[in-house]
Amino acid sequence: MATKIQPQPNTVRSLVSDFQSLGVQKGMTIIVHSSLKSLGWVCGGANAVVQALMETVGREGTIVMPTQSAELSDPAYWEEPPVPEEWWETIRNEMPAFDPKTTTTLGMGKIVDCFRSYDDVIRSYHPTTSFAAWGKHAHFITEHHSLEFSLGEESPLQKIYDLNGHVLLIGVGYEHNTSLHLAECHANACYTCQQGSPIIEDDRRVWKEYEEFLYDTDKFNEIGFLFERNGLVSTGQVGMAECRLIPQRQLVDFATAYFEKRKYINQKL
């Protein structure tokens, strides 16, 4: 397969133009999942992408990105890689507590790490599945993030749903679309587990146990491509990346119905 040749460098100005052509508008609320590498060479790297997104939606809009830190979880569930069981209690006792300013993300990418570093970006308080937000609705989206069932009805995802927000996929597929976990919760399609994380409570570090869903992304690509048949997804190219702009509420409702039907079929079997 021939390698695509990038005709010109990506800049803040060219990225703004590409985002606008995709359908991103002033005042929108968007949750962004991204791959910097997919864009090709960018003058200014991740910082230029963040600036372009901010310029495109404006301060009357809102940008949200997942800032997950899955390593602040119970080591009993770790698989990639696992750690010896005799280490578990030490990890639970000694792991530093979640700090929205300093806790690093895991596997979220350079654009997210750049975005969360901005002074006027707010991060929700959840040790494993926090979200960062900037713009008009940043406080509303990030406040009161439930420790239990962190991607459900008391999460930033539900706030985006309530605001009729959009999902922006930059060079990544539906398996990265966190909003589909909200559909799992709406459909009650997840098993639960007892999770634990280090947090600050009453001004001291504690190991806090809480209930969480066992989320599953196996069907996300199938759901996404089925949803695209409705003609509601805007697809296009930003830089060298294949991108999608998706109405989040309609996607979540579609996926909820998918999960409910699948659950019913499994029950019948």
Which pLDDT score, from 0 to 100, does residue 204 have?
97
CA dist 137 and 165 (Å) reads 11
> What average pLDDT does the chain have?
95
CA dist 106 and 108 (Å) reads 6
Average pLDDT over residues 49-71: 97
Would you place residue 268 in the very low, low, confident or very high pLDDT band (cuts 50, 70, 90)?
very low
Which pLDDT score, from 0 to 100, does residue 205 have?
97
Assessment of whether the complete model's pTM goes beyond 0.85: yes
Which pLDDT score, from 0 to 100, does residue 236 have?
98
Average pLDDT over residues 247-265: 89
Which pLDDT score, from 0 to 100, does residue 238 have?
98
Q: Which residues contact 37 (CB under 8 A, 6 or more apart)?
A: 171
The single-letter code of the amino acid at 40 is G
Task: Quick: pLDDT tens for 100-137.
Answer: 999 999 999 999 999 999 999 999 999 999 999 999 99
> Domain extents for the chain?
12-69+101-195+208-268
Across the strands, what pairs with 234?
A: 245
Task: Quick: pLDDT tens for 3-40.
Answer: 678 989 999 999 999 999 999 999 999 999 999 999 99
Which pLDDT score, from 0 to 100, does residue 4 have?
76
Q: Which range (78-82, 116-120, 232-236) has the least confidence?
A: 78-82
For the chain, what is the HEC assignment?
Answer: CCCCCCCCCECHHHHHHHHHHHCCCCCCEEEEEECCHHHCCECCHHHHHHHHHHHHHCCCCEEEEECCCCCCCCHHHCCCCCCCHHHHHHHHHHCCCCCCCCCCCCCCCHHHHHHHCCCCCEECCCCCCCEEEEECCHHHHHCCCCCCCCCCCCCHHHHHHHCCCEEEEECCCHHHCCHHHHHHHHCCCCEEEEEEEEEEECCEEEEEEEEEEECCCCCHHHHHHHHHHHCCCEEEEECCEEEEEEEHHHHHHHHHHHHHHHHHHHHHC
Which pLDDT score, from 0 to 100, does residue 76 have?
94
Average pLDDT over residues 164-191: 96
Would you place residue 269 in the very low, low, confident or very high pLDDT band (cuts 50, 70, 90)?
very low
- For the purposes of burial, counting CB atoms within 10 Å of the CB of 11, is it exposed (0-12), middle (13-18) or buried (19 or more)? middle
